Structure 1
Amino acid sequence: MTRETLRTLTALRHTVRSIALGHRLPADDRARLVLSLSEVAAAALGRGRPVTLLSGRETGEDGAHLLTLALRLPHQSTGAQIATDRLPLRARTQPDGTVVWNLPLPAPGSYGQGPSFTGGLPASRPSATPAAAAQHGETDVALLEEELRAALARADALADEHQRLKHELAETNSGVLALYVQLEERDEQLRTAHGRTLRALEDALRPRPLHVQGLELAVHYAPASDDAPTGGDLYDWFTLPDGTVHITVVDAIGHGITSTRTALTVTHAVRTLALEGHPLESIVARTDTILAPFDQNVMATLLLARLDPVEGKLSLANGSHPPALLAHGDGSATYLEVRGRGIGFPLPGSDRVLTTTMEPDDVLLLYTDGLTESRRDPIAGEARLKEALCRHRARPTELIPGLLAEDLLSDVLHQDDTLALVMRRTAN
Structure 2
Amino acid sequence: MNPHTFHDLPALRRAVRRICEAHRLPSRTGGRLVLSVAEVAGAALSAGGPVRLETAEQTAPGGSTLLAVTLHAAPAPAPPSPAHLPLPGLATSDGAVAWHLPLGGTQEAPPAAAARGAVPLQGRVREAETAEVYEAQLAALEGDLAAALSRVDTLTTELHRLKDELAETNSGVLALYVQLEERDEQLRRAHGQILRELEDALRPAPITVDGLEFAVHYEPADTDAPTGGDFYDWLRLPDGTVHITVVDALGHGVRSTRSALNVTHAVRTLALEGHPLESIVAHTHDILAPFDPEIMATVLLARIHPGTGELRLANGSHPPALLLRADGTSEYLEVRGRGIGFPLPGSESVREATLHEGDLLMLYTDGLTESRRDPIEGEARLVKSARAHARRPVDEIPGAVAEDMHTVILHSDDTLALAVRRAAPGTGTHAGG
Fold conserved between structures, TM > 0.5: yes
Q: Say which of 374, 379, 388 aligns to 2:376.
A: 379
* Shift in alpha-carbon separation, 1:307–1:146, aligned structure 2, 3 A: same
Q: For residues 6-405 of structure 1, what are the structure 2 equivalents within 5 Å?
A: 130=127, 132=129, 138-405=135-402
**3-state SS in 2 of match to 1:413:** coil
**Aligned-partner Cα distance in 1 for 2:123–2:319:** 104
Percent identical pairs in the alignment equals 67
**What residue is the counterpart of 1:86 in the other structure?**
none
Deviation at 1:134, TM superposition (A): 5.4
Q: Deviations over 1:79-112 (max 9, x none)?
A: xxxxxxxxxxxxxxxxxxxxxxxxxxxxxxxxxx
**What residue is the counterpart of 1:407 in the other structure?**
404
**What residue is the counterpart of 2:75 in the other structure?**
none
**Aligned-partner Cα distance in 2 for 1:414–1:328:** 30
Q: Deviations over 1:361-402 (max 9, x none)?
A: 010000111111222222222221111001111111111011
Q: Deviations over 1:301-333 (max 9, x none)?
A: 111011112211111111111111111112122
Comparing both chains, which one has the higher relative contact order based on Cα–Cα distances under 8 Å and sequence gaps of 6 or more? 2
The one-letter code of the counterpart of 2:277 is: L
Deviation at 1:143, TM superposition (A): 4.2
**3-state SS in 2 of match to 1:370:** helix
What is the number of equivalent residue pairs in this alignment? Answer: 305
Deviation at 1:189, TM superposition (A): 2.4
Deviation at 1:286, TM superposition (A): 0.6
**Aligned-partner Cα distance in 1 for 2:125–2:319:** 108
**Aligned-partner Cα distance in 2 for 1:169–1:399:** 56
Deviation at 1:140, TM superposition (A): 4.7
* Shift in alpha-carbon separation, 1:341–1:147, aligned structure 2, 3 A: farther
Deviation at 1:275, TM superposition (A): 1.0
Structure 1 gaps, min length 5: 1-114, 116-123
* Shift in alpha-carbon separation, 1:126–1:132, aligned structure 2, 3 A: farther
**3-state SS in 2 of match to 1:371:** helix
Deviation at 1:202, TM superposition (A): 1.0
Q: Deviations over 1:194-213 (max 9, x none)?
A: 22222111111111111111
* Shift in alpha-carbon separation, 1:134–1:262, aligned structure 2, 3 A: same
**Aligned-partner Cα distance in 1 for 2:308–2:123:** 126
**What residue is the counterpart of 1:416 in the other structure?**
413
**3-state SS in 1 of match to 2:129:** helix
Deviation at 1:139, TM superposition (A): 4.7
**3-state SS in 2 of match to 1:180:** helix
The one-letter code of the counterpart of 2:385 is: A
**What residue is the counterpart of 2:59 in the other structure?**
none
Deviation at 1:360, TM superposition (A): 1.1
Deviation at 1:290, TM superposition (A): 0.5
Range with greater deviation from structure 2 (237-246 or 145-154): 145-154
**Aligned-partner Cα distance in 1 for 2:197–2:142:** 80
CA RMSD in angstroms comes to 2.3
Q: Deviations over 1:48-82 (max 9, x none)?
A: xxxxxxxxxxxxxxxxxxxxxxxxxxxxxxxxxxx
**What residue is the counterpart of 1:19 in the other structure?**
none
Deviation at 1:137, TM superposition (A): 5.0
The one-letter code of the counterpart of 1:169 is: L
Deviation at 1:158, TM superposition (A): 2.5
**3-state SS in 2 of match to 1:423:** strand
**Aligned-partner Cα distance in 2 for 1:249–1:306:** 12
**What residue is the counterpart of 1:69 in the other structure?**
none
**Aligned-partner Cα distance in 2 for 1:351–1:249:** 18
Cα pair 1:308 1:314 within 8 Å, conserved? yes
**Aligned-partner Cα distance in 2 for 1:217–1:420:** 11
